[in-house]
Structure 1
């Protein structure tokens, strides 16, 4: 899944247009704070959107339907999750995840929510957003260890971290992330690849700067991310285009998969002058959509 577009649940016009964005994943954002009336309106809007797009019979390009809720320290996340589950989403982005305890608590509530909503057990996947506070950023190495089976990828929230440290900017000269954000970005990328998960780059926030967005997207792809958040529909095409596998990558992936298919049970194989194992095989299958 290359392109992940986030749309606030309280933005009616944006919700009405996002299905045609061309994104692989549409994430309806319920994590934004608000008063009781505003939150209830957002929950109803998110539920209705998820329900209405469950069957994509006439969609030009199929997409997954996700919701963003959390953090688990907030007072409203459980009601947000209940509303999202009524729409049977494909997955949940867990905002503000600070540690494995958050994931365990969230997964337990998700299990109960699936049963309550009549959904298949363990059918909903999780992508936690990591490193959003200084303390969470300093504990990122733990996410390279075995965690919950529902997790399919890691993301990060650059804006949340910048706010939490009082930064007045997120990027410096040339569009490079400032040092604290670059540190978290690198740790999220490494943790994801350590577990064979998707690594999702934070979005480029200024949708009016198409040239800057293109540079950021190219950098994310070159650095090893498997996908990126789009902050606006205008960014989706560039993400899809830059993250699409090249002909050489596709050929190499097919060759690698073929090698292991001829050697069932092998854990490590020599391949193009190096040794490859199950992690490389998983990446090759994911690149070809066979994961």
Structure 2
């Protein structure tokens, strides 16, 4: 299987369809269309199609979906695959089994639509499910489609009922420190990049500092949530 190799530009932008359609986006940008929890619906498919069919090429265009579990979601994957996105961002990833399940679904969808095997890549978004960070399993060689990790701080702090910053200790919260390190180390072991997705509320100096901290911690780059954040870091 010949796999499509992704090279995400940083910063990348992840936002809902309505935001993306009204934004000015450079042809060199990597864009993730956030289809939300209703990603299996006709509305989500139409949003993905409208964005992918918009005039002007992008470096990469990916679709962010929740973890698929059943036959109805397999059918939704097949419909979205026919639109030929660069790949899927798999949110709520718990580990290698979820990645391999999506790999199989994509293999079926590519065959159904006469696409080259391995055309569609996978980026695993981690943070929502703490078990990802506790697993001893390596990501190496689990799926040739797996082209990177995306670490979600907000999802991790919600899942662990912890604070991003432990003010009393003058550092990040302990679960966040552990999870960030785990994500970077698992990605490096597998030979894939690891990006960090930031909160919508970050701006100005705080956004720049977050970028510096992320790079120093071993992340490849940031994925931002608004066109304004993208412009701030691209300038």
TM-score range normalised by the length of the shorter chain: 0.7 to 0.9
Task: Say yes or no: does 1:20 pair with 2:25.
Answer: yes
Q: How far off is 1:164 after superposition?
A: 2.0
User: What's the CA shift string for 1:32-57, capped at 9, x where partnerless?
Assistant: 22498xx331221112211335x62x
RMSD: 2.7
User: What's the CA shift string for 1:28-83, capped at 9, x where partnerless?
Assistant: 112x22498xx331221112211335x62xxxxx4211101121348864354234
Partner residue of 1:233 out of 223, 227, 230: 227
Correspondences of 1:1-291 after superposition (within 5 Å): 1-9=9-17, 12=18, 14-18=19-23, 20=25, 24-30=29-35, 32-34=36-38, 39-52=41-54, 56=57, 62-73=58-69, 77-139=73-135, 141-167=136-162, 169-173=163-167, 177-207=172-202, 209-240=203-234
Distance 1:35 1:94 in 2: 12
Pick the structure with more helix per residue.
1
Distance 1:4 1:27 in 2: 8
**Secondary structure of 2:138 counterpart:** helix
* TM score, norm. by length of structure 1: 0.68
**Which structure has more RCO (C-alpha within 8 Å, separation ≥ 6)?**
2
- More off after superposition, 174-183 vs 157-166: 174-183
Residues 116 and 48 (structure 1 numbering): CA distance in 2 closer, same or farther, change over 3 Å?
Answer: farther
Distance 2:113 2:170 in 1: 44
Corresponding residue pairs, total? 226
